[in-house]
Amino acid sequence: MADRAMPHVKTGRVTLDHGGGGRASRELVHRYFLPRFLNKILEKMDDSAVVDFPGRRLAMTTDSYVVDPIFFPGGDIGALAVNGTVNDLSAQGASPLFLSAAFILEEGFEIRDLEIVLGSMASAAREAGVSIVTGDTKVVPKGKGDKIYINTTGIGLIEEGIYVSGTGARPGDAVILTGSIGDHGIAVLSRREGLNFDTDLKSDSAPLNGLVREILSTTDGIHTMRDPTRGGVAATLNEIATQSGVGIRIDEAAIPVKDGVRSACEILGLDPLYVANEGKLLVILDSRDASGVLEKIRLNRYGRDGRIIGEVVADHPGRVVMRTRAGGTRIIDMPLGEQLPRIC
């Protein structure tokens, strides 16, 4: 009877029973999830979380995380799932408030690894000041998944007077990047492939809502913000150029790239501009405010290496071009596909 009440204790692993919606499912949730995420909304355990808001603008986003490996230098899939959704809300100028978390577990996944991932999620949520208020758990047969997949959905509020959009870039604006690029993608790839680069490179996975709050408090001249995740800085700037109908010109010498990332990219034949980041932000703003905002960014722990990397221009709308270190000009195209699969 004791074993039926606590099936995980017998095997030490997630089983198909844990995804059946019955007792084992309930025990999994109550023993491992609830103690870490408990709050007044989640404790009702309804099918949906009901959250009351006054008449204000609300932002909502969702994303799924399938990174391989699930543990990598500087983070894991749990922290990544929280930080990624927090950052998507923040880049819209919203203050993240509530997240959902849905898990797809593969039969045989180690309970101890699940505990580590959940602990990371709880820690990341505390740092970001968000609450995980609803969720779902499914278990698939062994061989039908890859350890764990996580979906997170987030809701945030946008204060009056804040209008940030991918359509907002204007000729004459400055382009700020809040730190070095490619750290996350190369850190994950090096662990996945067992590559022993001579570097202590770590993922930059981090919540950026505090940094965004400080940026928005500095000026009302912020037009566009976006975190350059999949596809890296190249894909993100191309998206903005297309959405806004402007050209963007960046300066290769101004873009911060760590030596470890640069060396790894040279060995692997990758371009750092296309490698994913999970703790960086591109900010496009009125150029008259750029110096003051950059100074504020550099005071934040997640923006110490921030730089002005370029400008928005009226020429070549929908295109991104780069002044190279050699003095030439290079077109930065949108990537055709995923350069590095399963890095988030």
One-letter amino acid at 28 equals L
Q: Which residue has the higher pLDDT, 318 or 50?
A: 318
Beta bridge partners of 31: none
Please tell me the predicted confidence (pLDDT) of residue 261: 94
Q: What is the pLDDT of residues 17-28, one digit of tens each?
A: 887 777 788 889
pLDDT value of position 129:
98
Residue 337 pLDDT class (50, 70, 90 cuts): low
Q: How many CB atoms lie within 10 A of CB 256?
A: 17
Record the pTM: 0.91
Task: Give one DSSP letter per residue of 135-201, joined into a string.
Answer: EEEEEE-TTSS-SEEEEEEEEEEE-TT----TT---TT-EEEE-S-SSHHHHHHHHHHHT---SS--
